[in-house]
Amino acid sequence: MSDLNKLTIAGARDALAKGETSAVELTEACISAIDASGALNAFVHGTPDMARQMAAAADQRIKAGNAQPMTGIPVGVKDLFCVKNVPSQSASRILDGFLPQYESTVTQNLWDQGAVMLGKLNQDEFGMGSSTENSVYGATVNPWKLGDGVARTAGGSSGGSAAAVAADLCLGATATDTGGSIRQPAAFTGTVGLRPTYGRVSRWGVIAYASSLDQAGPITKTVRDAAIMLGAMASVDAKDSTSAERPVPDYEAALTGDIRGKKIGIPKEYRIEGLSDEIDGLWSRTAEMLKDAGAEIVDISLPHAKYALPAYYVIAPAEASSNLARYDGVRYGRRAKLGAGDGVVEMYEKTRAEGFGPEVRRRVMIGTYVLSAGFYDAYYNRARRVRALIKRDFDQAYASGIDAILAPTTPSSAFALGSADSSNPVEMYLNDVFTVTLNLAGLPGISVPVSLDQQGLPLGMQLIGRPWEEGELLNFAQVLENASGFVAKPTRWW
């Protein structure tokens, strides 16, 4: 078989089961593709030796008849997952040289299934960004390039994961989504990105950004692959106090293709001012596809949705300022060079000033401000009250019989690298306008590639599911995937 790296997870699993290929061959194909992908800057720490050993072990396991769905499947891992003795620095200078002495639950679950570790993937520093430009490794470049030759963003914060999957460097990748960081990069690269319900996947060993919002999930080539990979990543974990005590179902079995009689909500508040005709048209066409498959389309209202973005940009920085207090130059990572007479406070201040990038410094300071005496109620508590109202909107929609919600993933296709105005950070924050709402409510969401825009860049639509119903959500997503018939791939230039 040729081009093994272009297989889907399901395709590779079936080929491995039939003995048509081996985990070693699959892994070598991915390693060669990674070696030739420097221009994308998606993989930032390769682990080819580890990959070869794991692939050989997977082949033994397949031969012995003990294979699980991910056995022998080569995957990439977002930098912020701690992998034992592999650099894991959440794309931050402050974690230069950090080698975790323990393993994140998500990666341990994958290795337990026999998946193969190809290396670490680029991201925005600590997950803070929408373009993977806020990275100590430099920006990831989207594999989708047009005749204009412009280098575009692969989105963020999981831009490395999305680019690697789109460019067939790996069969699937782990990612995390705090405000849209799985779904927006998936939409920008023509891949599938699934953010599960908060608590479905363990956060143990995932370098924290905002703990009440962070949730890990897969970026894959197809919806079926997302079902397979989520099944391997998810678990009930005693090491994460917010891990839900719910058994992990067979997500692939949920892909029945039958959505007859289901109700899909179209939230009117997502029809924001300035929404392009193109995105609006795509929204109507995809609603029509779900209707043709037997679903009922219902207009709904989420009255507080417009406040999700400002609420997020209070709550997430507040949690980040607390989580990132641990980077003090004492226990791990980097310590600044100190001058004669510098004490412990200078050590903290210099270490954090040179260790954090500008966006991280900004969010830590905003978070510090909104949590400080005198402002805690005005900003932080108010945002948490608005958050309760945002969640109530969704609760009411689902209580009225809605099964899922359809909305665009992003207001546009991928934008050019370097196009953001660095003096106006709010402009970049607006990228999250459609994705951030469900993070505040803790809901699952998936971005499915459905079309190319007029320029020829991929666009994604987002489905938002009921809590804990990732299986049903994946079923809706697969119906949309099949109906849209999206199969385009980027033309290789790298």
Partner 1 sequence: MAITEDEARKVAHLARIAVNDADLPALAQELNGILHFMEQLNEVDVDGVEPMTGVEPMRLKRREDVVTDGEMQDLILKNAPDAREGFFAVPKVVE
- Residue 391 to residue 395: CA distance in whole angstroms: 6
44-103 binders of partner 1 (CB under 8 A): 97-99, 101-102
For residue 126, state whether it binds partner 1 (rule: CB under 8 A).
no
The reply to whether 419 belongs to the active site is: no
Which residue number, 375 or 493, has a Cβ lying nearer to partner 1? 375
Measure the CA dihedral 111/115/118/123, to 10°.
-70
Under the binding rule (CB under 8 A), the answer on residue 343 touching partner 1 is yes
Site for partner 1 contains 128 (CB under 8 A) = no
Interface with partner 1, residue 333, by CB under 8 A: yes
Catalytic annotation on 181?
Answer: yes
Among 78, 221, 262, 263, which one carries the catalytic annotation? Answer: 78
Report the site for partner 1 in 181-200 (rule: CB under 8 A). 198-199
Sign of CA dihedral 432, 365, 440, 133: positive
Task: Give the dihedral of Cα atoms 128, 129, 133, 134; nearest 10 deg.
Answer: -20
Q: Does 310 contact partner 1 by CB under 8 A? A: yes
Report the site for partner 1 in 197-216 (rule: CB under 8 A).
Answer: 198-199, 212
Residues 375-434 that bind partner 1 (CB under 8 A): 375, 378-379, 381-389, 391, 423-426, 429
Write out the two tokens for 168: 């067939």
- Of residues 346-375, those binding partner 1 (CB under 8 A): 346-350, 352-353, 356, 361-362, 364-370, 372, 375
CA distances from 26 to 59, 228, 258 (A): 11, 18, 33
With contacts defined by CB under 8 A, name the span among 130-138, 331-339, 403-411, 447-455 that binds partner 1. Answer: 331-339
Total residues at the site for partner 1 (CB under 8 A)? 73
The span from the CA of 242 to the CA of 201, in Å, is 9
Token look-up 């953010």 returns: 195
* Residue 358 host element (H or E): helix 358-370
User: With binding defined as CB under 8 A, does residue 272 bind partner 1?
Assistant: no
Residues from 439 through 478 that contact partner 1 (CB under 8 A): 441-442, 467
244 near partner 1, judged by CB under 8 A = yes
Nearest by Cα to 173 from 75, 244, 58: 75
Query: How many whole angstroms separate alpha carbon 160 and alpha carbon 91?
Result: 11
Catalytic residue among 157, 158, 161, 447: 157
Question: How do strand 216-220 and strand 263-267 relate by DSSP bridges?
Answer: unpaired
Q: Is residue 241 a contact point for partner 1 (CB under 8 A)?
A: yes
Q: Which residues are catalytic?
A: 78, 157, 181
